Structure 1
Amino acid sequence: MTIFVGLDWGGSSHAVCIVDPAGKILDHFSVAHDRDGLADLIARLRRYGPPGAIPIAIERPSGLLVDVLVEAGFVVTPAHPNVVKACRPRYRAVAAKSDHGDAYILADVPRTDGHRLVPLKPQSDAIKALRALVRGRDDLVATRLVLANQLRALLDSFWPGAAGLFADIASPIALAFIQRYPTPESASRLADKRMAAFLAQNQYCGRRSVADVLGRLRSAPSPTAAEAEADAKGELARAIATALESLVGQIAKLSSRIEHAVAELPEGRIVMSFPRAGKICAAQITAELGDVRTRFQSEDHLAAEAGVAPVTYQSGKSRSVAWRCACNKRLRAAVTCFADNSRHASPWAAKVYQEARSRGCRHPHAVRILARAWLRILWRAWRASIPYDPQKHPAARAISTKG
């Protein structure tokens, strides 16, 4: 007998609903998110038939629960949370959320609208590893920005000179300076000779002379904090600088590993063949695209997933175009970064960008338009497993010929 399973995932437990082809509830239960609970879930589902014939709808496309079900051989179908939210009024007058109610909706939607849902196909282990590295690095970069802003704000409150001494407060030399001279008092005897030794020891490559660096430090607003306050804030500044130094080092190690990993993947080499894609940006794109070629049915599907295709609202004579909020935000950040860089290396990309700007589009909008244009090409190259060749790109070839 054909059945349909809906699974509303949670942090500590998951609600499960099983319905038959007529929509009748066959079973309704909850399982704990632990080894015994997941084993019990698989055992109970297998009573209804072979795993390959049991579709399971769930609101997320990844995670431990999804991996366990896919590994067991079940057909897992991701359903966007907005789909469940929109379907609630179909089943009850009150649009209130409940775990068991959402599990029933998730089970019934594949029964009635299964042709609209695409079963999940697992990515390769190499793609999963790259995705973990890339997303982890992105999160650490965001943490670095938070700590750098916190450190700058702290220094501005009691020692502005140290905050503006070097261009990047999270650079190794800036962090080394703060750790050695965390308070104005500790740097009060800093003269030309000692500053020159410090700069040489930390391989300072700036264009300013030692006198200019010292002049910048001394021309900053005078600190007003008393001795006890300055000492306390200096200790905190040293602690943040130490944490930032370790974080920056780990990000560098992850970046090196990511660059090596993306170069080993065929999909990575395809993305890297595009102008100014780089390695880190190419890795970010590759990690989100994956290696399942049938995942995106068309270039429009990919553009919508990447958030570079606008949403059009139209009713009668009313029509408006709005920013797409529901998308893979990591993929959008990666493709727009690539598009912005590409216009400095590709005459065709520069032309697309300038035409958008001439129509009155602001920079972010123009970059998204360019990203949408690039995705048309990237989708074809990715599907065909071939690198980008400007000579096979008619628009780029025409501009190159004119130049």
Structure 2
Amino acid sequence: MKCTAETTLPDEPPNAVTCGIDWARDDHAVSIVDARGREVRRVTIEHNAAGLRELRELFELLSRAGACEVAIELPSGPVVDTLLQAGITIVVISPNQLKNLRGRYGSPGNKDDRFDAFVLADTLRTDRSRLRPLLPDTAATATLRRTCRARKDRVGHRVALANQLRAHLRVVFPGVVGPFADIDSPISLAFLTRLDCQNRANWLSVTRLAAWLAGAGYCGRVDPAVLYGRLTGAPHGATGDNGAANAHLTRALVAALTSVAAQIKALDAQIAQQLALHADAHIFTSLPRSGTVRAAWLLAEIGDCRARFPTPESLACLAGVAPCTRQSGKVTHVGFRWAADKQLRDAATDFAGDSRRANPWATDLYNRAIPRGHDHPTP
């Protein structure tokens, strides 16, 4: 599905009027300027249901008069939703851009919400050829994006909890860190639920460990005798009252990890269901090693309107996976592109890191980069 909406602004603003909104937590400053850059109206609207109704009524009035363009810093939220419902064209100017634009008006170090609203409105008037309207995604894509980002947040929380648990166990129960590949794997969490301190682990023998692993549904990748050797070969953990006290924290971290793992599993099921119903699912699932979650993540972050990426390079630049070059005289500097869509960058690098396992071109590119000293991802 490709977006058919206009991807550029008209040369002149409708009815020679532009508007800027400076978004804040409690209220929103609104500025309207005419064709000569003079502020013709300034209002402040509270961030509540009544205020948003007032904002919508204001722009419905302007829209009927022919003025229907607004510059704002954020691409989403209740204010943006309200404006889109009123048929307003929205142009997003990032906070970093706005910070630099203040210097045009002689106040680069000053910060005022009402003045920022004026700067947004006037920039929309003067820099139209460089600005692009916000093209909202379909409800299916927006829902998929929220689900994918929720999963990403849960995965980050799982990693943090796993790191905390690993650091804790290295001090109070070192033997349990080594036996299994991942401290947050189901078998590792089941083991820690059953044996959460050195006192309880002392009960184990090779035979007892083998019986427990069989009952827990262990895959059998590593022989129980080897696992037992890893467990007993590590330094002895805390015992007695100290071990019992630390076991409380171990159980708390294990319970938290188990809960987060269940949440991620539920989100995976939602993502699979939402992706199956999406019209563009076949495009992204055809990519090498895209799977379900990765394909959904790419689709959600790229969005429906592919026209905003006229070339592959433009997509790479927005995702921050293309270098940033600076040239002055005979000096050229190539550096990391920090100004990018961070969410899109995460999705793109996750895909790139694993695509080398199924794509010859990506494999060759990866293999040639390693001898040059480049770090490599570990999918």
Structure 2: gaps (5+ residues): 1-14
Q: 2:335 aligns with which of 304, 319, 322?
A: 322
Distance 1:78 1:52, change over 3 A: farther
The range that moved more, 186-195 or 67-76, is: 186-195
User: Are 2:371 and 1:362 equivalent residues in the alignment?
Assistant: no
Q: Secondary structure at the match of 2:40?
A: strand
Equivalent residues of 1:51, 1:72 under 8 A apart: no
Q: Secondary structure at the match of 2:76?
A: coil
Percent of residue pairs bearing the same amino acid type: 42
Letter of the 1:230 counterpart: G
Equivalent residues of 1:262, 1:269 under 8 A apart: no
Match of 1:284 in 2: 297
Separation of aligned partners in 1, 2:254 and 2:46: 42
Separation of aligned partners in 1, 2:99 and 2:283: 38
Equivalent residues of 1:4, 1:110 under 8 A apart: yes
Q: 1:331 aligns with which of 314, 329, 344?
A: 344
TM-score, normalised via structure 2 length? 0.90
Separation of aligned partners in 2, 1:12 and 1:227: 54
Equivalent residues of 2:198, 2:236 under 8 A apart: no
Letter of the 2:374 counterpart: R
Letter of the 2:267 counterpart: L
What per-residue deviation string (whole Å, max 9, x for no partner) do you get for residues 251-305 of structure 1? 1121132133223323221122122222221111100111123232333321211
Q: 1:13 aligns with which of 11, 22, 27?
A: 27
Separation of aligned partners in 1, 2:217 and 2:207: 15
What per-residue deviation string (whole Å, max 9, x for no partner) do you get for residues 92-120 of structure 1? 24422221121111111011012211111
Q: Secondary structure at the match of 2:346?
A: helix
Equivalent residues of 1:52, 1:75 under 8 A apart: no
Separation of aligned partners in 1, 2:168 and 2:310: 50
What per-residue deviation string (whole Å, max 9, x for no partner) do you get for residues 169-223 of structure 1? 1111111111222111122222344323321222111333323222221111012
Equivalent residues of 1:51, 1:75 under 8 A apart: no
Separation of aligned partners in 2, 1:193 and 1:357: 45
User: Are 2:355 and 1:342 equivalent residues in the alignment?
Assistant: yes
Distance 1:200 1:296, change over 3 A: same
Letter of the 1:150 counterpart: Q
Query: Which is bigger in relative contact order (C-alpha 8 A, separation at least 6)?
Result: 2
Q: Secondary structure at the match of 2:280?
A: helix
Letter of the 1:22 counterpart: R
Distance 1:201 1:51, change over 3 A: farther
Equivalent residues of 2:206, 2:224 under 8 A apart: yes
The range that moved more, 214-223 or 193-202, is: 193-202
Equivalent residues of 1:52, 1:74 under 8 A apart: no
User: Are 2:86 and 1:63 equivalent residues in the alignment?
Assistant: no
Q: Secondary structure at the match of 2:242?
A: helix
Separation of aligned partners in 1, 2:79 and 2:241: 53
Match of 1:257 in 2: 270
Separation of aligned partners in 2, 1:94 and 1:290: 34
Q: What's the RMSD between the two structures over aligned residues? A: 2.0
Equivalent residues of 2:63, 2:88 under 8 A apart: no
Letter of the 2:147 counterpart: L
Match of 2:248 in 1: 235
Q: Secondary structure at the match of 2:100?
A: helix
Counterparts of residues 289-308 of structure 1 (less than 5 Å): 289-308=302-321
Q: 1:119 aligns with which of 133, 155, 161?
A: 133
Q: Secondary structure at the match of 1:320?
A: strand
Separation of aligned partners in 2, 1:214 and 1:350: 38
Deviation at 1:340, TM superposition (A): 2.8
The range that moved more, 119-128 or 286-295, is: 286-295
Equivalent residues of 1:123, 1:292 under 8 A apart: yes
Equivalent residues of 1:53, 1:75 under 8 A apart: no
Letter of the 2:162 counterpart: A
Letter of the 2:112 counterpart: S
User: Are 2:354 and 1:310 equivalent residues in the alignment?
Assistant: no
Match of 2:366 in 1: 353
Letter of the 1:134 counterpart: C
Letter of the 1:339 counterpart: A
Separation of aligned partners in 1, 2:276 and 2:337: 32
TM-score, normalised via structure 1 length? 0.84
Counterparts of residues 197-212 of structure 1 (less than 5 Å): 197-212=211-226
Q: 2:97 aligns with which of 73, 83, 86?
A: 83
Separation of aligned partners in 2, 1:282 and 1:39: 38
Counterparts of residues 156-171 of structure 1 (less than 5 Å): 156-171=170-185
Distance 1:352 1:215, change over 3 A: closer
Deviation at 1:47, TM superposition (A): 3.1
Deviation at 1:129, TM superposition (A): 0.9
Q: 1:144 aligns with which of 138, 153, 158?
A: 158
Equivalent residues of 2:59, 2:86 under 8 A apart: no
Equivalent residues of 1:56, 1:75 under 8 A apart: yes
The range that moved more, 10-19 or 124-133, is: 10-19
Letter of the 1:62 counterpart: S
Match of 1:47 in 2: 61
Q: Secondary structure at the match of 1:345?
A: coil
Q: How many residue pairs were aligned? A: 363
Match of 2:200 in 1: 186
Q: Secondary structure at the match of 1:266?
A: coil
Separation of aligned partners in 2, 1:116 and 1:42: 27
User: Are 2:248 and 1:248 equivalent residues in the alignment?
Assistant: no
Letter of the 2:309 counterpart: F
Deviation at 1:54, TM superposition (A): 1.5
User: Are 2:122 and 1:108 equivalent residues in the alignment?
Assistant: yes
